[in-house]
Every structure is written in C-alpha cells, then in structure tokens.
Amino acid sequence: MSQEKLYEGKAKILYATKDPDILLTVYKDDATAFNAQKKGQIAGKGVINCQITAALYKWLESEGIATHYIDSPEPNQMRVKAVTIVPVEVVVRNIAAGSLCRQTGLSEGKILDNPLVEYYYKNDELGDPLLTRDRIFILDLVSAQRLTEIENIARKINQHLLSFFDKCNIILVDFKIEFGIDSQQNLLLADEISPDTCRLWDKNETDAQARVMDKDRFRKDLGQVESAYQQVQARVLAQLEK
Ligand code: TMP
Ligand code: ASP
C-alpha cells in the first residue's frame, strides 16, 4: 500500500489518503486480550469485523446517529472521516458480565435495571482504567458538555442495537464504543462495533459457554471462534437485507 501509515493498533491499521479529511482503516486478523498479554489470530476476522461495522454504521446513520463511516473499498478496508479520537472508551452494559462481575461481585447474567454507562481511560500503558466523571475533567479528556452528549448518544445507540440484535436472535450483553471529533467539531461515532467490541449471546442457547458469539471465545479459549464471528456476520447482514 502506497499510503502513509499513521498508526497501527491491535486490530486495525490507519493510513492517510490524498484527502486530509479522509483516512483508510485496514482491519487485521490479529486478536489480543487482557491488554495484549494474550495474542493470536482469528482467521477472516478483519473482513468480518469490517463488514459488520460497515453495515451497522450505515444503518445507524439512517437512524440519525452520526458516524465516521464513508465506505468500504475492499472487504477488510474502510474509508472514514478523519477525527480526533476522544481518549475515553465508553462501555454500555445491559447484563452483568466481564469486569463488572470481577470488580463488584455481581453474578454473570444479572439483567441490569437500567443500562449502565461507564468510561475507561484509553491508555494502554495504564491498562485502560475505569474513570469517574471527575477524573475525566481533572485529566481534561473531554468537556462536561461533550460528556453529556456522549452519554446521551451512547444510550441511544444501545437502544437501537438492543432491538436490532434481538431481531438477529442475539442478546446484546454489553459493548464498547469510541467517539471522535471532526474538523467541524462534530461528535462522530468512530472505531468499530463488532464481536471484538461487544458481548453477544445466542438467544437460542442457554448454556453459558455455547451461547458466546464474541471475543470471549478467544479470551477464554472456548474454541470455534471463527464460526461464531461468521455466524454474527451472517445474522447481521441477513437482518439488514430484510
Ligand atoms: P469488560 O467487561 O472487560 O470491561 O468489557 C466490556 C465490553 O467492552 C465488552 O463488550 C468488551 C469490550 N471491550 C473492548 O472492546 N475493548 C477492551 O479493551 C475491553 C477491556 C473491553
Ligand atoms: N482489546 C484489549 C486488548 O487488547 C482487551 C480485550 O479486548 O480483552 O488486549
């Protein structure tokens, strides 16, 4: 690729294009967990996550959510609007799982009365620690007004995704999103929404391991990672074609 590489992350590479307002994201098959202490590959993941993200972002745009997505020139590539990423990872939880259970003792699978919105510092050196609102302001990561905007949009995205995945016979347990600010100061949904960044449980399965359709299969060595990702892609695309 002739373009200048701007940044290589754990799952994607970002390239400049001739247009300073447009960047090219190339999705990789590389998979990491536990802040890259565990490393591996998930065959076909780059294409699958790119195509799921493209399809969901196009659909979210049609529902009034502004995203950085432009188009997908190759199956594992996405052209996106250039943004400055807000260094706050926004996690929305509908059901207790993962770090929420580890840190609070809540039982996995407990349905939360209200979706929980949490913020984590996007900082690999520090291990992406949980933030409070006041810590966000002390660190000057984002303004109070923007944070309110982010929370409102995150809750809206959750409502859209909950009902969408439900139609796919998938339970949206939790997910992580990131936001960016473009040159006109618009707040845009950025990064990706995929089985790497969501917990997705198969509604047709009750077994706690068999139902897992996301990166927890890789994190916990549950096997059949590729087929789970393929199944999510197939259901998402089929639902959007209806
Ligand atoms: P957690 O329970 O480990 O905090 O994860 C919450 C959600 O965020 C889950 O859907 C997985 C996603 N996630 C990421 O996308 N990137 C990360 O680095 C981590 C830790 C979680
Ligand atoms: N994305 C994180 C990592 O690379 C953690 C995770 O998804 O579990 O290591």
Looking from the CA of residue 34, the nearest atom of ligand 2 is 9
> Which CATH class for the 5-81 domain?
alpha beta
Instruction: With H, G, I as helix, E, B as strand and everything else as coil, classify residue 154.
Output: helix
Quick one: average pLDDT of 84-96?
98
What CA–CA distance (Å, rounded) separates 204 from 188?
34
Pocket of ligand 1 (CB under 6 A): 91, 97-100, 128, 174-176, 197-199
pLDDT per residue over 195-211, tens digit each?
Answer: 999 999 999 999 999 99
Q: What is the pLDDT of residue 228?
A: 98
**Could you tell me the residue ranges of all domains in the chain?**
5-81, 84-224
Place of tokens 């972002």: 57
Distance of CA 98 to the CA centre of its chain: 15
Label residue 2 by pLDDT band (50, 70, 90). low
CA 11 to ligand 2 centroid distance, Å: 9
CATH code matching the domain that covers 84-224, chosen among 3.90.1170.30, 3.40.50.300, 3.30.470.20, 3.90.1150.10? 3.30.470.20
> What is the longest distance spanned by two Cα atoms in the chain?
50
Hey, which of 119, 123, 176, 217 would you mutate to test ligand 1's pocket, going by the most ligand atoms within 8 Å of its Cβ? 176
Q: Which residues fall within 8 angstroms of residue 141, CB to CB, at 6 or more apart?
A: 86, 87, 88, 121, 131
What sign does the CA torsion over 154, 159, 161, 162 have? positive
pLDDT per residue over 122-171, tens digit each?
Answer: 999 999 999 999 999 999 999 999 999 999 999 999 999 999 999 999 99
- Single pTM value for the model: 0.97
Residue 194: which region, alpha, beta or left (left: phi > 0; alpha: psi -120 to 50)? beta
Asked whether 117 lines ligand 2 (CB < 6 A), one says no
